[in-house]
Amino acid sequence: MENREKVLQIKDLYITFNTFSGKVHAVRGVNFDLHKGETLAIVGESGSGKSVTNKTIMGILAKNANIEKGEILYNGKDLTKFNDKEFTKIRGSEISMIFQDPMSSLDPVMKIGKQITEAMLVKGNITKEEAKKKAIKLMGAVGIPHPEKRYEQYPFQFSGGMRQRIVIAIALACDPDILICDEPTTALDVTIQAQILDLIKEIQKERQISVIFITHDLGVVANMADRVAVMYAGKIVETGTVDEIFYDPKHPYTWSLLASMPDLDTDATDELLVIPGTPPNMLYPPKGDAFAPRNRYAMEIDFKEEPPMFRVSDTHYAATWLLHPSAPKIDMPDALKIRIEKQQERQVLQNETN
């Protein structure tokens, strides 16, 4: 993994928002790398800063946002220093994005075909006919039946799932290297969700693009991602490969997240774990570990000092004082352990039957 080419490096990104009530510290020093051809999932609850981070990469932050410090390195250039004109050049053709709600992200009064070709034509180097050909091919690739006919239609003539496919086609129109998917399936029916996820996976493999996948749905993560970053209160608290995060989580927040997710063995009598308390108010970011007040395993130091990233393996890091040598040995909660074991058994069984 390490020897792979890094296409995007985010270094110590810190973003605040000016609001009526004061400065909101939305992202507080985020670091991660995106490798070529991998899928990185960023998981966290609402307001954890995952969307803000990615909007910064796209240069579409709201006007009241400030990038306090940090850099986003892409091809040796720092995107945080880009103005809108420079961003316009890389948007679409280098980095592209898919949004949560396909119902509202298409222009209701413009033909689908035009919406796909629009950006290609703006970027130049292509004739109208070529653009149309490419768009129809792309529509076929994202699974739209009768693309020639559909090319001339308007968004209201498409279903939600079909629209999301169109949005994906639009995002891919200028052959980007990086695709950011911001909860692309949240607004869709469950059956459609799976189809769209498969589509993204397929495209990612075929085109060898790097995908950042933002979600709060751990089920989706397990299915899609190569690596996972867990965000809490504007920070990445744990990062690792999918297996590491799902089978060997180290951060108490990750434990809670996993334990709160229903799986195949969960039945009506089981009580799912609820994470007590609420995320901190980001107007006044807490001292120490932001998760400490909600954490059963919080230690005194958690309220005093912010934990650094402790190394678990070359790919696995977690920001919790529990990994400090002086910390009392503590294992993940038993319930979670049992679940993970069951999960692994099932995995093994599945592999055998295959």
> Which of 91, 132, 250, 339 forms a contact with other proteins (CB under 8 A)?
91
Taking CB under 8 A as the rule, does residue 304 contact other proteins? yes
173 in Cβ contact with 138 (< 8 Å) = yes
* Sheet arrangement for strand 22-35: 22-35, 6-19, 65-74, 77-78
Strand, coil or helix: what is 81? helix
Assess 299 for contact with other proteins (CB under 8 A): yes
For position 318 contacting other proteins by CB under 8 A, the verdict is no
Rule CB under 8 A: say whether 317 interacts with other proteins: yes
99 binds other proteins (CB under 8 A): yes
Among 27, 321, 332, 336, binds other proteins (CB under 8 A): 321
Residue 349 touching other proteins (CB under 8 A): no
CB of 223 to other proteins, least distance (A): 25
324 binds other proteins (CB under 8 A): yes
DSSP 210-243: EEEEEES-HHHHHHH-SEEEEEETTEEEEEEEHH
- Which of 297, 315, 333, 343 is close enough to bind other proteins by CB under 8 A? 297
Q: Cα separation of 31 and 2, whole Å?
A: 15
DSSP string, 26-65: EEEEEEEEEETT-EEEEE--TTSSHHHHHHHHHT---TTE
**Window contacting other proteins (CB under 8 A); options: 69-77, 143-151, 219-227, 276-284:** 276-284
Please state, in angstroms and rounded to a whole number, the distance separating the CA atoms of residues 27 and 12.
9
Q: Which is nearer to other proteins, 2 or 352 (CB)?
A: 2
Interacting residue with other proteins among 13, 72, 106, 178 (CB under 8 A): 106
Shortest CB 351 distance to other proteins, Å: 33
Task: State the minimum distance, in angstroms, from the CB of residue 345 to other proteins.
Answer: 30
Report the nearest approach of other proteins to the CB of residue 186 (Å).
13
Residue 228 in the binding site for other proteins (CB under 8 A): no
Alpha-carbon torsion, ordered 123, 126, 128, 131, to 10 deg = -80
- The DSSP secondary structure of 146-177, one letter per residue, reads SHHHHTT--GGGS-HHHHHHHHHHHHHTT--S
Give the residue among 233, 183, 179 at the shortest CA–CA distance from 206. Answer: 179
- Shortest distance, CB of residue 243 to other proteins, whole angstroms? 20
Residues binding other proteins: number (CB under 8 A): 58
d(CA 324, CA 150): 58
Interaction between residue 296 and other proteins (CB under 8 A): yes
Among 3, 5, 46, 108, binds other proteins (CB under 8 A): 108
Going by C-alpha positions, the residue among 257, 242, 248 that lies closest to residue 341 is: 248
Direct distance between the N- and C-terminal alpha carbons of the chain, in angstroms, rounded to an integer: 26
Whole-angstrom distance, CA of residue 148 vs CA of residue 337? 53
Of 46, 109, 191, 269, the one binding other proteins by CB under 8 A: 109
Name the token pair of 159.
């279903």
Q: Residue 143 or 293: which CB sits closer to other proteins?
A: 293
In angstroms, the CA 235 to CA 46 distance is 13
Written in H, E and C, the secondary structure of 94-105 is CEEEECCCCCCC
Decide: is 88 part of the binding site for other proteins (CB under 8 A): yes
Q: Is 60 in the site for other proteins (CB under 8 A)?
A: yes
Q: Does 170 interact with other proteins (rule: CB under 8 A)? A: yes
Determine if 174 is a binding residue for other proteins (CB under 8 A).
yes
- Residues numbered 129 to 158 that lie near other proteins (CB under 8 A) are 154, 156-157
Q: Which positions lie near other proteins, rule CB under 8 A? A: 58, 60, 84-85, 88-89, 91-93, 96-97, 99, 101, 104-111, 118-119, 122-123, 154, 156-157, 167, 170-171, 173-174, 276-278, 293-301, 303-305, 308-311, 317, 321, 324, 326-328
